[in-house]
């Protein structure tokens, strides 16, 4: 049911197709995050119109509410949320481990308290796989432990535990219509990351995720880790960089050989009145936009930019109209989805290397101007 075919390579950047039961995924791709089986402010039809091919849902949140067994009774996530294309669920590990004050970790699993009602629950690799099998996503994740990247001792312990849990996740998996990805951990330590990449690659996962990045390390550390890890991974399996999603990160990640990305950033920025643009991130609450008749971005052809002015969008924000979040989410997601599609086309056409400098110049915002530019990796 699952296969990965590389169509073109330029430098370390790859264009491929990952076949799943709910359709082919053309990589590289960016996946919007639908934490509660819904991408905030958008309908499935709107996501389809944006060209989204993969949506991520959250195991921890759906376990607590409405419950994975209820979702299974409703026919699984595809029926429940009316999304006909592929779905990916995370393992719940990151969310559980972020509950630092209300969870206890041991070698068997994690005991934690619900952020909703304080009730006590326990996740093990076996439990995480069971929940994800009930949810029914096409791609599911091994249970892992994400650590503080700046704590070497903890990173080593978490990595070793993640490796044991990866083996248990593989043993626990029963459904054949789901692809289970293993996760590489190890903080920003090169030796730990090398060990983890080699171990996870040695197991029979059809895809491999890189976890524990964009969680407090510098951009330079993230890029150095990616540069090291991707060259250690098998060529015939898709590579998923978890939770990373600025335009510059997508460009650099693809240049280093990453195939799949997801991030809450585009919809979160939209809910905080911010939009990606070729002028950097715009805060549309700013009074300077009150009489601005331009679209968010003159170079963008999304529905929002084709139809509405910055002045109208600012009016919606000031008036606290829910439509503001929808229109900004449409624009922000379109920006990332279209960027990755354009990159994919350039890899196939063998023009990626020449176009990377222009994309980086266009998309890195003011806050990112000192980030490492990796277009040389595309060669």
The residues annotated as belonging to the active site are 90, 262
Q: What's the start-to-end Cα distance of the chain, in Å? A: 33
CA 352, 358, 361, 362 torsion-angle sign: negative
Phi, psi of 124 (to 5 degrees): -125, 170
Helix axes 190-202, 152-172, angle to 10 degrees: 10
Check if the beta carbon of residue 37 is closer than 8 Å to that of residue 21: no
Q: How far apart are CA 27 and CA 107, in angstroms?
A: 35
Give the residues across from 5 on adjacent strands: 17
CA 100, 101, 102, 105 torsion-angle sign: positive
Check if the beta carbon of residue 152 is closer than 8 Å to that of residue 189: yes
CA distances from 196 to 155, 199, 200, 260 (A): 11, 5, 6, 19
Q: What does the block give as tokens for 379?
A: 């060669």
Q: How far apart are CA 89 and CA 376, in angstroms?
A: 33
The H-or-E segment that residue 104 falls in is strand 103-105
């Amino acid at each position: 049911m699952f296969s990965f075919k590389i169509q073109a390579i330029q430098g370390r950047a790859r264009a491929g197709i990952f076949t799943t039961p709910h359709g082919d995924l053309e990589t590289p791709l960016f996946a919007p995050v639908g934490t509660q089986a819904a991408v905030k402010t958008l309908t499935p039809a709107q996501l389809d119109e944006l060209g989204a091919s993969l949506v991520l849902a959250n195991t921890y949140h759906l376990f607590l509410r409405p419950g994975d067994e209820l979702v299974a009774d409703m026919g699984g996530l595809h029926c429940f949320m009316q999304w006909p294309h592929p779905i990916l669920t995370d393992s719940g590990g990151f969310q559980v481990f972020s509950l630092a004050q209300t969870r206890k970790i041991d070698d068997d699993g994690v005991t934690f308290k619900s952020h909703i009602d304080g009730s006590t629950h326990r996740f093990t690799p076996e439990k995480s796989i069971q929940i994800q099998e009930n949810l029914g996503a096409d791609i599911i994740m091994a249970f892992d432990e994400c650590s503080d990247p700046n704590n070497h001792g903890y990173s080593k312990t978490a990595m070793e535990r993640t490796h044991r849990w990866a083996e248990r996740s593989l043993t626990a998996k029963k459904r054949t219509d789901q692809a289970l990805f293993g996760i590489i951990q190890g903080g920003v330590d090169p030796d730990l990351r090398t060990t983890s990449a080699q171990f996870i690659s040695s197991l029979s996962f059809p895809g491999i995720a890189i976890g524990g990045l964009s969680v407090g390390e510098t951009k330079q550390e993230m890029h150095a880790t990616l540069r090291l890890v991707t060259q250690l991974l098998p060529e015939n399996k898709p590579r998923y960089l978890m939770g990373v999603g600025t335009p510059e990160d997508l460009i650099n990640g693809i240049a280093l050989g990453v195939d799949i990305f997801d991030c809450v950033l585009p919809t979160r920025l939209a809910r905080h009145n911010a939009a990606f643009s070729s002028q950097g991130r715009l805060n549309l609450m700013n009074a300077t936009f009150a009489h601005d008749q331009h679209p968010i971005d003159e170079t963008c052809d999304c529905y929002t930019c084709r139809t509405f002015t910055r002045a109208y969008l600012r009016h919606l924000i000031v008036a606290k109209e829910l439509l503001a979040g929808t229109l900004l989410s449409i624009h922000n997601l379109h920006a990332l989805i279209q960027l990755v599609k354009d990159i994919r086309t350039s890899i196939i056409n063998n023009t990626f290397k020449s176009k990377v400098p222009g994309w980086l110049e266009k998309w890195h915002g003011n806050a990112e101007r000192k980030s490492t530019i990796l277009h040389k990796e595309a060669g």
